[in-house]
Amino acid sequence: MLTHSLPARHVYEFADAVRQGLTKPGQKELPSKYLYDEVGSALFETICVLPEYGLTRADARLLREHSQEIVDRLPSPIQVAELGSGSGKKTRWILEALSRRQKTYYYPIEISSSALAACQKELGQIDLVSIVGYEQPYLEGLRAVAERRDDGEHLLVLFLGSTIGNFDREAGEEFLREVREILQIGDALLLGTDLEKRVADQLAAYDDPAGVTAAFNLNLLGRINRELGANFDLSRFRHEARWNAIDRRIEMHLRSTRRQCVEVAAAGSRVMFNEGETIWTESSHKYRPHEVVAMAERTGFRCGGQWIDEEWPFAQNLLVSE
Ligand code: AVI
Nearest to 266 by CA among 24, 78, 10, 76: 10
Q: What is the mean pLDDT of the chain?
A: 95
Ligand 1 contact, 281 CB (< 6 A): no
Under the banding of pLDDT at 50, 70 and 90, the label for residue 2 is low
Please determine, for residue 58, whether its predicted confidence score (pLDDT) is greater than 60: yes
Q: What is the radius of gyration, based on Cα positions, of the chain?
A: 20
The predicted structure's pLDDT at residue 6 = 40
Beta strands in the chain (DSSP E): 2-5, 28-29, 78-83, 104-109, 129-135, 154-159, 188-194, 237-244, 249-256, 260-264, 269-273, 278-285, 301-308, 314-321
- Whether 183 is in the pocket of ligand 1, judged by its Cβ within 6 Å, is no
Most ligand 1 atoms within 8 A of CB, residue of 49, 87, 175, 282 to mutate:
282
CA dist., res. 42 & res. 40, Å (int)? 5
φ and ψ at 127, to 5 degrees?
A: -60, 140
Q: What confidence tens digit (pLDDT) does each residue in 7-17 have? A: 445 788 999 99
For residue 142, pLDDT over 70 is answered with yes
